[in-house]
């Protein structure tokens, strides 16, 4: 607003790749000075996003006490101003993501090269802020509510504490910008942990009312055996949600030496049984109790813990031999093998000449991606890999078949 300044703290998050997953990691946290400037120094090269947190959701200056009326206005981030906030409709947000949380994907993030200095001119929009009212499951006493901003295959936790409304039953966040968010409520009863989750989209300049739903958790146990009823080669069992608020999460359990496994803390819902590619070669059929799961989907809920999931092994495995086309500029070349059926992916190392071999593959459709530096690839992100699909090699592997002389292009990750 007319060049006025606000208190703010700027935190820079660098996106790191850990075990094929994108993880935002804070690299710097700086208070904005009296001139509205901040400086994050000695940053590693990489992809960044900035989160600007403000102490409150109200704005005022020395000459006016008018409340937010929807006027087209904005305030440039220019330092700090000591003024008492008036009790009115919110006009400043509690936080700002740069780039905008409304378009929180890799293409719009800050790409910082080595020895590079970038300038971020951040404007804080005063028009689109909204009020978010949330009814918690456990009430407003004794529970912890976490607030996350949701991005493209990642989420960033925000330390923004809600107020309690006059009824004492609801939380209020005054000053939320449009975007996609997730709320997680945690509490304990009689020594047992409980959790409630809600994902939501906040629209511009609205009052949004929602509630979080308690997540009833279940167990799923079973055995992985071969055709002779002996423990199979399967090492891990993975459940991927097909519906609901937990989409994108994975629940897994290791298979013990006797073939048994036990997955705990699974919310109610429909799941697909997925295995790491190196374990898929052993999977033939799946049963829940005596019911065959022909599409490898299973409903988890009441009664699930009384039934056993049985996975049986199969034979007839295929092989792929290929070469990753290199030009000598690669730092850690490798290929990523993705199963288009289970959506799981693994890294396959390549030799100095770019050649590689993949053994023990079950029949199915696969996609193979080549990378100049496989360490920088979030290969467990379906969304990320999809952006490079046109540079990948797709193949349909029949039972026991062998593919030779497969050529794969080499891409460079932009994350």
Secondary structure of 252-308 in HEC code, one letter for each residue: EEECCCCCEEEEEEEECEEEEEECCHHHHCCEEEEEECCEECCCCEEEECCCHHHCE
For all residues of the chain together, what is the average pLDDT? 78
Q: Strands 334-339 and 260-267, how do they pair?
A: unpaired
Say yes or no: 50 and 132 in one domain: yes
Indicate whether 295 belongs to any domain.
yes
H/E element holding 186? strand 179-189
Q: Which pLDDT does position 367 carry in this prediction?
A: 94
CB half-sphere exposure, 290, CA atoms < 13 A: 0
The torsion angles phi and psi of 26, rounded to 5 degrees, stand at -65, 130
Domain closes at, from 163, 180, 214: 214
Indicate whether 230 belongs to any domain.
yes
Distance, CA of 325 to CA of 329 (rounded, Å): 11
Grade residue 68 by pLDDT with cuts at 50, 70 and 90.
very low
If you compute the radius of gyration of the chain from its CA atoms, what whole number of angstroms results? 25
Assess whether pLDDT exceeds 60 at residue 69: no
Domain membership of residue 368 as a residue range: 318-409
pTM for the whole thing?
A: 0.65
Greater confidence, 9 or 359? 9
Say yes or no: 172 and 232 in one domain: no
227-286 pLDDT per residue, tens: 555 555 677 888 888 876 676 677 888 888 888 899 888 888 888 888 776 666 567 788
Say yes or no: 200 and 262 in one domain: no
Say yes or no: 352 and 328 in one domain: yes
Assess whether pLDDT exceeds 90 at residue 224: no
Say yes or no: 175 and 239 in one domain: no
Mean pLDDT of 405-412: 91
Domain count, the chain: 3
Question: What CATH number should be reported for the domain holding residue 381?
Answer: 2.60.40.1120
Assess whether pLDDT exceeds 60 at residue 205: no
Indicate whether 28 belongs to any domain.
yes
316-375 pLDDT per residue, tens: 677 899 999 988 888 889 999 998 877 778 888 899 899 998 877 877 899 999 999 998
Q: Which two tokens stand for residue 358?
A: 């993949």
Question: Which residue, among 102, 96, 103, has the nearest Cα to 77 in the 3D structure?
Answer: 96
Say yes or no: 17 and 122 in one domain: yes
Distance, CA of 299 to CA of 289 (rounded, Å): 12
Say yes or no: 303 and 282 in one domain: yes
Say yes or no: 337 and 305 in one domain: no
């Amino acid at each position: 607003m007319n060049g006025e300044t606000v208190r703010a703290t700027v935190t820079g998050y660098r996106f790191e790749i850990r075990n094929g997953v994108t993880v935002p990691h804070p690299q710097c946290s700086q208070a904005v000075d009296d001139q509205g400037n901040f400086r994050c120094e000695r940053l590693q090269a990489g992809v960044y996003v900035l989160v600007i947190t403000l102490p409150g959701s109200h704005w005022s200056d020395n000459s006016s006490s008018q409340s937010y009326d929807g006027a087209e206005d904005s305030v440039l981030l220019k330092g700090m101003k000591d003024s008492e906030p008036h009790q009115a409709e919110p006009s400043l947000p509690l936080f700002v993501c740069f780039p905008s949380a409304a378009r929180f994907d890799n293409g719009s993030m800050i790409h910082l090269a080595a020895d590079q200095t970038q300038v971020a001119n951040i404007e804080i929009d005063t028009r689109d802020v909204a009020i978010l009212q949330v009814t918690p499951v456990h009430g407003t006493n004794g529970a912890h509510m976490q607030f996350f901003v949701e991005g493209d295959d990642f989420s960033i936790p925000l330390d923004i504490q809600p107020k309690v409304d006059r009824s004492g039953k609801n939380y209020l966040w005054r000053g939320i910008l449009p975007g996609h968010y997730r709320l997680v409520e945690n509490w304990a009863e009689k020594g047992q942990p409980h959790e409630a989750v809600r994902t939501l989209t906040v629209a511009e300049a609205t009052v949004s009312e929602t509630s979080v739903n308690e997540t009833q958790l279940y167990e799923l146990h079973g055995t992985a055996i071969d055709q002779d009823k002996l423990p199979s080669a399967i090492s891990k069992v993975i459940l991927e949600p097909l519906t609901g608020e937990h989409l994108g999460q994975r629940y897994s359990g290791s298979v013990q030496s006797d073939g048994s496994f036990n997955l705990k803390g699974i919310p109610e819902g429909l799941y697909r049984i997925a295995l790491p590619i190196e374990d898929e070669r052993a999977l033939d059929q799946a049963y829940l109790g005596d019911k065959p799961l022909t599409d490898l989907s299973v409903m988890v809920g009441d009664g699930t813990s009384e039934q056993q999931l049985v996975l049986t092994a199969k034979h007839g495995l295929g092989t792929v031999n290929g070469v990753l086309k290199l030009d000598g500029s690669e730092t850690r070349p490798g290929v990523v093998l993705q199963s288009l059926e289970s959506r799981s992916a693994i890294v396959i190392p390549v030799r100095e000449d770019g050649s590689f071999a993949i053994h023990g593959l079950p029949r199915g459709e696969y996609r193979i991606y080549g990378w100049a530096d496989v360490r920088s690839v979030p290969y467990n992100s379906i969304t990320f890999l999809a952006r490079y699909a046109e540079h990948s090699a797709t193949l349909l592997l029949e039972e026991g078949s062998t593919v030779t002389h497969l050529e794969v292009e080499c891409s460079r990750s932009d994350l």
